[in-house]
Structures are given as C-alpha cells and as structure tokens.
Amino acid sequence: PDARAPHAPDPGTPRPEDVAARFTAAFGHAPDGVWTAPGRVNLIGEHTDYNEGFVLPFAIDRSAAVAVKLREGTTARLLSSYGDQVVATVDLATLSHSTMGGWTAYPLGVVWVLRQMGVAIGGFDLFLHSTVPTGAGLSSSAAIECAVASAFNELCGAGLSASQLVLVGQRAENEVVGAPTGILDQSASLLSTDGHAIFLDCRSQESKLVPLDLAAAGLLILVVDTKVSHAHATGGYAARRASCELGAEVLGVHALRDVAEADLPEAAGLLDAETFRRVRHIVTEDQRVLDTVAVLADAGPSAIGALLTASHASMRDDFEISCAELDLAVDTALANGALGARMTGGGFGGSAIALIPAAGEAMVRAAVVRAFAEAGFTAPEIFAVSPAPGARRAL
C-alpha cells in the first residue's frame, strides 16, 4: 500500500546529491550515504501474494531516497519532504507503536523490526525524499521501507539478504503500519532489474527475471493514476484476505495456491457464493500469471493483452476491488487501441495500467482525460513506465 501524505512528487528517481545536500542543510553534517528503492507496478497477479501464489511486478522509475547518518546514543531524528517538514525526534530506547505515527511509521517500523531481530541500531539522523506518488497503488510505502532497510542493513553490517529484507519490510507493514499485506511490493522494490519483470513464487520466495522489452515491441505501459486514494490498513483489503483464509480453511488446503482451476466446480458446492467468487479470482489469477510468463517467452509482450484484461474483469466481478474510475480508465484505454488493461495493486482506488502501441499514446491519453471529465471525475495523472532497477546504494 501507500504512505499517505499530501505530496505532489516530481517524476523520476531523486538525485542522490540533492538528497544528501538537503540532509546536510537540515542536520548540519553530511550523511553516511544515500539509498534509493523504487515503487512498482504489478503487471499481473493481484492478491495472490498472501495466498502463496504467483506475481509478476516490475520496478518503476519513481523512488524513495533516504540519506542516513549513524550517531552516538539512542536519539533518532527524522525529516521528510512530506507534509509539515518538521524534524521528528524519538528515543529508540522507548520506541513503541504509539511513538511511530504518520510517515515515520514506515522508517521507524523498519528500525523497530531490525532491532527486534537483534540488529544493533543506535541513534541516527534520516532524511527522506520520495517521487513515488502516495495513495496511487504504486507501493510508496514499500519504497520507503526498502530504502531504509537497505541503509541500515549496510550501515550496521547486518548482512541480511534481499529476501530477508523483503520480510523485514513486510513485518513493518503488518506489525507497525497495521496493513495485513503480502510480499509483492517489497520483493519488486528489492529484487527488480532494469528491463525485466520479476516472476515470484510467493510460497518459496524463489524469483526469476523475465525480460520485458516494451520498446523493442513498439509498446509502452501507461499508468493512469485515478487519484482515488486508498489505505490497506483499513477495510476492504483485510476483508479480502479474510475471505481467502476462510476459503482455504473450508476447502481444507494450507493456502489457495493449492487449489487448481479443475477443483473450482467442486469448490462452488462447498463455499458460500461470495467466498467462492473470491477463491475463483485467486485460482484463475495464479493461472493467468503462469500463462503470462509463458506467453511472454513464446510470443512477447504484444500477446499478453487479453490476459491483462481478463485479470481486470476478475478483480472487478469476482474479487470486487475495482471502482468506477478504474473501470473507466480500463474501458477507455481498450476502446482506444490498448492491447490490454487492468487495475494494478491492492485496489479500491489507485492506478490502472494499459499496454498500448507507442504510436497510440497521445490518443489514449486524450481519450482517458476526456472520459474522466465527462464522468465528472477528478482529472487523472497519466504517465508511461518501463521496468527500472531495484533498490541500491546511490551515494
């Protein structure tokens, strides 16, 4: 999900020199380093992560950057370009859920988890700047968590692997922020490589890089940020997860990953109608991820459109996590030449993606803007994305 704060970020990845300079201006000394971690779009595989299934995300060229300097003592000072831009000062010796509020829950949540794991983190100064739009379903919160986890992993010599850092970010999200999310977002942020999507098995945490050269195929992916904000710490996200757990329990499986499409007719007789629809989304979505990976290898990105669109229909009708703005973005893109389109991320707002011929970009953009205006919706933000590098030390 997304760190929620009033924020209008610039596109692109923050310049590490600028982030270091703002740190130095705020704290009066230079940082030990600057770490960046990107947001993501998920090409396909939604809500499958916490069902131990498959996902296929890629990192985008919008990142969180943190400059950090370790200090003596137990005082942490945190500043971000979000919101009121006042330095938050906390004593790590008395760190508790009640002292981690607002945007500081993301960096402090990671620090709290690392300290629980025995990583010796004392005092520090931290400055955060992010270009991942908040509330847009593009993993602004995972970007912060992964940048912070990468920084302390290195500065404190913790020696954790990328897969372990994924779980650190997830625990911060689950235990401190309070959103019962899976490992999709942190995995995309930490494991991504330029020019590739990541095919991740969320049960084993094994991943495989899948080449995704959109430009060579004359294609691009447009993000339509509907500006309908969402929060996964409340409401629908947790309810969907609970439905999936109920479905697995009634069907006698460890996780919905263990249900095959061929089992669905029998499952229909065992589950109430709503739980069955939730289960059907997960089971068919897992298969669509596997199919997408196979089609990409055999025929390339121009052949995956129908799978993306089928995924959207499943989220709209069976999982019921879409909204009028997302459906309009998808339908309008499809009516104006998109090969496929779907909402991406947790749902209930946020962004849709559309796979379009590069030559048709202006037409799709204009059509979506017009359709939103005619429907009386807030103007969307529309931008192209392509697979970008994952988290790294930038300075």
Q: What is the DSSP letter of 256?
A: G
Site for ligand GAF in 1-20 (CB under 6 A): 1
Q: How many helices (H) and strands (E) does the chain have?
A: 11, 12
Helix or strand (DSSP H, E) at 251? helix 236-251
Q: Which of 237, 251, 133 is nearest to 184 (CA)?
A: 237
- DSSP 8-state symbol, 128: E
Closer CB to ligand GAF, 46 or 318, in the complex: 46
Name which position in 13, 27, 33, 46 contacts ligand GAF (CB under 6 A).
46
Q: How far is the CB of 236 from ligand GAF (least distance, A)?
A: 11
State the Cα–Cα distance between residues 349 and 21, nearest whole angstrom. Answer: 35
Residues 298-337, mask of contacts with ligand GAF (x by CB under 6 A)? ----------------------------------------
The reply on whether position 198 binds ligand GAF by CB under 6 A is: no
3-state secondary structure 170-231: HHHHHHHHCCCCCCHHHHHHHHCCCCEEEEEECCCCCEEEEECCCHHHCEEEEEEECCCCCC
Least distance between ligand GAF and beta carbon 232 (Å): 6
Residue 131 CB neighbour total at 10 angstroms: 23
Joined together, the tokens standing for residue 157 give 């010599």
Asked if residues 366 and 377 have their Cβ atoms less than 8 Å apart, the reply is: no
DSSP letter at 132 equals S
Residue 2 or 125: which CB sits closer to ligand GAF? 2
**Which of these segments, 42-50, 267-275, 329-337, 371-379, binds ligand GAF (CB under 6 A)?**
42-50
d(CA 299, CA 192): 22
Nearest approach, Cβ of residue 182 and ligand GAF (Å): 4
> How many Cβ atoms sit within 10 Å of the Cβ of residue 93?
10
Stretch that binds ligand GAF, among 29-37, 156-164, 178-186, 323-331 (CB under 6 A): 178-186
Contact between residue 371 and residue 380 where contact means Cβ atoms under 8 Å apart? no
Residue 171, interface with ligand GAF (CB under 6 A)?
Answer: no
Per CB under 6 A, which of residues 50..69 are in contact with ligand GAF? 50
Instruction: Based on the shown chain and the rule CB under 6 A, indicate whether residue 47 belongs to the binding site for ligand GAF.
Output: yes
Interface characters, 248-287, with ligand GAF (x: CB under 6 A): ----------------------------------------
Q: Which residue has the tokens 């609970």?
A: 242
Report the nearest approach of ligand GAF to the CB of residue 322 (Å).
12
Tell me whether residue 156 or residue 233 sits nearer to ligand GAF (CB atom). 233
Question: What is the closest distance, in whole angstroms, from the C-beta atom of residue 40 to ligand GAF in the complex?
Answer: 8
Q: Which of 16, 107, 345, 390 binds ligand GAF (CB under 6 A)?
A: 345
Q: How many CB atoms lie within 10 A of CB 130?
A: 30
Catalytic residue of the set 2, 49, 61, 185:
185
Minimum distance, C-beta of residue 225 to ligand GAF, in the bound complex (Å): 14
Report the distance separating Cα 298 and Cα 87, nearest Å: 52
- 387 interacts with ligand GAF by CB under 6 A: no
The DSSP symbol for 99 reads G
The reply to whether 185 belongs to the active site is: yes
- Told to check if 191 binds ligand GAF by CB under 6 A, we report no
Q: Which residues are catalytic?
A: 185
Task: Using CB under 6 A, list all residues that contact ligand GAF.
Answer: 1, 42, 46-47, 49-50, 181-182, 184-185, 232, 345-346
